[in-house]
Amino acid sequence: MKVVPYETVPAADVTMPGATGCKVRWLVDEQDGAPTFALRQFEVAPGGFTPRHSHPYEHEVFVLEGEGEILEADLPRPLRPGTVVYVAPDELHQFRNTGPTPLKFLCLVPNSHRGAKVTTPAECDRPIG
Amino acid sequence: MKVVPYETVPAADVTMPGATGCKVRWLVDEQDGAPTFALRQFEVAPGGFTPRHSHPYEHEVFVLEGEGEILEADLPRPLRPGTVVYVAPDELHQFRNTGPTPLKFLCLVPNSHRGAKVTTPAECDRPIG
């Protein structure tokens, strides 16, 4: 069993093209022996965003703090603390912080995400801001 | 894509023997098309607890509100908002609310939990309190 405050897990910058102002903590993953899926916590700075992309695996998301939106393709849908999001495999999506404080959320992925193909629209290869 | 406030998902009483004062919301699961794992939110009333049991699948947990403990077999480990827990397959565990307000946490399971064998110690078949 692992029991830790999430803040004690080191946060790493998200260096994927198309991401701006994003950090990630891998809270539970294969290194802990987790056989099926990984629990990650993201922190997006004001004005920041995750890549606008799709991939053949799903996300399950719970918003902890802050305000923002998730783009469902081009449709913005609001995010607040307590918002739950399910992103199905191959759905185009992007998380954006539209508020004045960090947007913090949990975002889980199946272990099979490793090595899976990720499609990032061309404009996202050039980070903005 | 599904985007909902978690409170809008109906909460059901946990009727498993050994559970007292527990409600669960299935926030994302197979009914949403989620192929790998399910996102659930639990709410345990003051003095309440989940069954003391083990099962051959894992839990990944994030505490949202309240105070409590998780028993790792017989060892109590404190839970506060932001505490992350990984319960490996077959580990004996129980969540307990030791505070004055509801203990709220997310607890994820692989879809394979359905039909998996669950072992509940005999004393937990008689709910207390």
Which ipTM score applies to this complex? 0.92
Mean pLDDT of A61-78: 97
Is pLDDT at A123 greater than 60 in this prediction?
no
With contacts defined as CB-CB under 8 Å, which chain A residues touch B4?
A: 83-84
Which among A4, A28, A110 has CB closest to B36?
A110
Output A114 or A67, whichever has higher pLDDT. Answer: A67
pLDDT, tens digit, 9 for 90 and up, residues A43-58: 999 999 999 999 999 9
Output A127 or B107, whichever has higher pLDDT. Answer: B107
Q: DSSP readout, A54-108? A: B-SS-EEEEEEES-EEEEETTEEEEE-TTEEEEE-TT--EEEEE-SSS-EEEEEE
Q: DSSP readout, B16-40? A: STT-EEEEEEEEE-GGGT-SSEEEE
Q: What is the CA radius of gyration of chain B?
A: 14
Task: From A101, A114, A37, A90, select the one nearest A63 (Cα to Cα).
Answer: A101
Three-state secondary structure call for residue A47: strand
Task: From A106, A50, A95, select the one nearest A68 (Cα to Cα).
Answer: A95
How far away is chain A from the Cα of B98, in angstroms, using its nearest Cα? 17
The confidence band for A82, taking pLDDT boundaries of 50, 70 and 90, is very high
Q: What is the pLDDT of residue A114?
A: 75
Mean pLDDT of A26-35: 96
With contacts defined as CB-CB under 8 Å, which chain B residues touch A107?
A: none
Q: Give the residue from B37, B54, B61 with the most A CB atoms within 10 Å of its CB, the best one to mutate.
A: B37
Task: From A18, A93, A16, select the one nearest A60 (Cα to Cα).
Answer: A93
Is pLDDT at A128 greater than 90 in this prediction?
no
Interface of B with A in 85-124 (CB under 8 A): 85-89, 91, 93, 106, 108, 110, 112
The answer for residues whose C-beta is within 8 angstroms of residue B105's C-beta and 6 or more apart is B41, B42, B61, B62, B63, B64, B79, B95
The confidence band for A127, taking pLDDT boundaries of 50, 70 and 90, is very low
What is the average pLDDT score of chain A? 92
pLDDT along chain B (129 residues), means of 10: 98 94 97 96 98 96 98 96 97 98 98 78 49
Percent over 70 (pLDDT), chain A: 94
Q: What is the pLDDT of residue B123?
A: 53
Q: What is the pLDDT of residue B126?
A: 45
Is pLDDT at A76 greater than 90 in this prediction?
yes
With contacts defined as CB-CB under 8 Å, which chain B residues touch A108?
A: 37, 39, 60, 108
